[in-house]
């Protein structure tokens, strides 16, 4: 059994740690230590991300890298803590906290950014609520794949730096291989962090708000009415983020308030997946029986989550309760138009339109209605539209042909050739996404046969999602008919 120590040579690897979050009021966190593990071993290291972070993982032996990312030898300046937060989970409130995650601190990147370095699955903390604090290999690799795919798509997201196995079994419905993910994020401050602080301590709430503004919205630090402007800025980032999810068919799956990052990044890849055939009611999560977090409901839920954030800020917005509520309601009332603006601008780009016309919304909706009726694949349809010819049978139907003629006329109004338009479309419509069945194929090979080659091939294709690579064709195909895919909260 390896006992955690703090002996990594920071100068060699390149760590530049700070511990700004742990200087907040201690009600917001609890000291924590990664659990000792018997036999850590590297599954995958993200050398590209490490280079972006200014880290040189190449100086580490396989054993040293495994010890580092299993939490057995920590960077010298790390100060590991578990963060406290609450959350509305499927609408019901609960006091939570990092039950199986440990924040090592914040790392200064060469570009001047401050990013969280967090272990996930590294053992119990004060907030584990009788859980074991552990994680299994499959879900950790799944988060690695999806988060890196999202980054390649240009969508704000947490990143995955490493996955290591621990040599310990994790008992769920059956014994599974234990693993730890190292996650990198702008921060792990959530709507739920504000919910926790608002229920525990007003000075802590103000300190948290000031810290979050300084870290993520520094332009507001000295602004008049900075807390109101902060709420509006968070709402704007969430509108932009969820619009980008919608534009690539991404379904987060568990948009609880503890999974909404104040920074505007996608975080916590649990029962997420990408939609195949277009249907706004698409749900993959095995526990979302009512469709609360269905694809088409994500904008509404985002507004609901922002309302929960607004409630925590009322005492900071104004001393007069009626005035503070009115201010918050004004921001929340702006959200539908904010989201619609981002979504419509993105949809115009997907259709090769560079100007705005009043008829565009109806043109887009008509296409989506046809896609739903014909069970057309969301990703492939938009990519196919950027080709010179559409030969598939479902593109020969009268309804589609009428729409296609209208779209061609709309493009013609902008005075560009089809070739120019199609080239622009291919820069925003991915050729490949992490198809659910391909992800499962990679995970099965890793879990059952200790074979990471399938995952590496998938990651190579997903790293250039807008390119149609010679080896990418198998990754474009949707799953076979009748594939009833479900995801689970394994992360």
Task: Dump pLDDT digits (tens) for 17-35.
Answer: 999 999 999 999 999 999 9
Domains of the chain by residue range? 5-185, 194-348, 353-491
- How many Cβ atoms sit within 10 Å of the Cβ of residue 79? 20
pLDDT score, position 2: 46
Mean per-residue pLDDT, 405-422: 93
Cα–Cα distances in Å, from 166 out to 122, 178, 404, 441, 489?
9, 5, 54, 22, 20
Mean per-residue pLDDT, 136-157: 97
Mean per-residue pLDDT, 210-219: 98
Q: Give the three-state DSSP class for 311.
A: helix
List Cβ neighbours of 279 (8 Å cut-off, separation of 6 or more).
Answer: 295, 372, 375
107 and 53 Cβ atoms separated by less than 8 Å? yes
The residue among 5 and 308 whose pLDDT is bigger is 308
pLDDT score, position 115: 98
Integer Cα distance of 51 and 109 in angstroms? 10
Dihedral sign from CA coordinates of 446, 448, 450, 451: negative
pLDDT at 10 over 90: no
Integer Cα distance of 57 and 429 in angstroms? 34
Q: How confident is the model at residue 486 (pLDDT cuts 50, 70, 90)?
A: low
Query: Tell me: the pLDDT tens digits for 98-140?
Result: 999 999 999 999 999 999 999 999 999 999 988 999 999 999 9
pLDDT score, position 481: 73
DSSP H stretches of helix in 264-377: 298-317, 321-350, 360-374
What letter would DSSP give residue 22? G
Q: Give the three-state DSSP class for 162.
A: strand
What percent of the chain is modeled with pLDDT above 70? Answer: 96
Q: In the predicted model, what is the mean pLDDT of the chain?
A: 94
- How many Cβ atoms sit within 10 Å of the Cβ of residue 175? 10
Query: Tell me: the pLDDT tens digits for 64-90?
Result: 999 999 999 999 999 999 999 999 999
- Which contiguous run of DSSP H or E holds residue 427? none
99 and 128 Cβ atoms separated by less than 8 Å? yes
The residue written with tokens 């598939």 in the block is 392
Nearest C-alpha neighbor of 36 from the set 67, 75, 10, 62 = 67
Nearest C-alpha neighbor of 381 from the set 427, 429, 438 = 429
Count CA atoms closer than 13 A to 49's CA, side-chain side: 22
* Predicted model pTM: 0.94
Query: Tell me: the pLDDT tens digits for 384-396?
Result: 999 988 989 999 9
Mean per-residue pLDDT, 392-405: 96
Selecting among 258, 268, 288, 377, the annotated active-site residue is: 258
pLDDT at 97 over 50: yes
Residue 164 φ/ψ, nearest 5 degrees: -125, 145
161 and 50 Cβ atoms separated by less than 8 Å? yes
* 10 catalytic residue (yes or no): no
Dihedral sign from CA coordinates of 110, 267, 479, 246: negative
180 and 166 Cβ atoms separated by less than 8 Å? yes
- What's the alpha-carbon Rg for the chain, to the nearest Å? 23
Residue 386, token pair as written in the block: 């950027």
270 and 147 Cβ atoms separated by less than 8 Å? no
Go through the chain and tell me how many residues it has: 491
Query: Tell me: the pLDDT tens digits for 252-275?
Result: 999 999 999 999 999 999 899 999
Query: Tell me: the pLDDT tens digits for 342-351?
Result: 999 999 999 9
Query: Tell me: the pLDDT tens digits for 330-389?
Result: 999 999 999 999 999 999 999 999 999 999 999 999 999 999 999 999 999 999 999 988
pLDDT at 432 over 60: yes
């Amino acid at each position: 059994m390896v006992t955690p120590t703090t002996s990594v040579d920071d100068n060699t690897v390149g760590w530049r740690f700070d511990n700004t979050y742990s200087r907040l009021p201690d009600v917001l966190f609890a000291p924590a230590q990664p659990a000792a593990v018997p036999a850590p071993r590297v599954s995958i290291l993200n050398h590209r991300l490490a280079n972006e972070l200014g880290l040189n993982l190449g100086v580490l032996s396989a054993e040293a890298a495994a010890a580092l990312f299993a939490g057995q030898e920590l960077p010298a300046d790390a100060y590991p803590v578990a963060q406290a937060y609450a959350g509305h989970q499927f609408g019901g409130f609960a006091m939570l906290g990092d039950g199986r995650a440990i924040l090592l601190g914040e790392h200064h990147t060469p570009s001047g950014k401050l990013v969280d370095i967090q272990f996930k699955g590294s053992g119990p903390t004060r907030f584990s609520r009788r859980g074991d604090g552990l994680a299994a290999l499959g879900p950790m690799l799944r988060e690695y794949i999806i988060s890196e795919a999202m980054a390649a798509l240009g969508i704000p997201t947490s990143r995955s730096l490493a996955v290591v196995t621990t040599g310990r079994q994790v008992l769920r419905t059956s014994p599974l291989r234990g693993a730890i993910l190292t996650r990198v994020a702008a921060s792990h401050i959530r709507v739920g962090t504000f919910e926790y602080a608002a229920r525990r301590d007003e000075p802590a709430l103000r300190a948290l708000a000031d810290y979050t503004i300084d870290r993520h919205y520094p332009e507001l630090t000295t602004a008049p009415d900075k807390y109101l402007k902060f709420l509006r800025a968070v709402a704007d980032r969430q509108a932009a983020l969820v619009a980008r999810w919608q534009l690539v068919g991404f379904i987060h799956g568990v948009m609880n308030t503890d999974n909404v990052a104040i920074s505007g990044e996608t975080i916590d890849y649990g029962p997420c997946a990408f939609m195949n055939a277009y249907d706004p009611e698409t749900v993959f999560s095995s526990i979302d029986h009512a469709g609360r977090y269905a694809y088409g409901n994500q904008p509404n839920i985002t507004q609901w989550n922002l309302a929960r954030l607004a409630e925590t800020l009322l005492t900071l917005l104004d001393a007069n309760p009626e005035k503070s509520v009115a201010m918050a309601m004004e921001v929340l009332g702006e959200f539908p138009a904010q989201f619609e603006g981002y979504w419509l601008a993105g949809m115009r780009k997907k259709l090769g339109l560079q100007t705005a016309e009043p008829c565009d919304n109806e043109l887009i909706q008509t296409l989506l209605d046809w896609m739903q009726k014909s069970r057309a694949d969301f990703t492939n349809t938009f990519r196919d539209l950027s080709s010179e010819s559409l030969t598939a049978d479902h593109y020969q139907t009268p309804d589609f042909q009428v729409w296609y003629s209208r779209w061609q006329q709309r493009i013609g109004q902008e005075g560009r050739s089809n070739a120019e338009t199609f080239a622009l479309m291919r820069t925003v419509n991915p050729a490949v996404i992490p198809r659910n069945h391909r992800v499962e194929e990679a995970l099965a090979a890793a879990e059952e046969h200790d074979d990471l080659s399938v995952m590496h091939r998938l990651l190579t294709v997903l790293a250039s999602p807008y390119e149609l690579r010679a080896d990418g064709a198998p990754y474009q195909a949707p799953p076979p008919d009748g594939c009833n895919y479900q995801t689970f909260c394994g992360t």
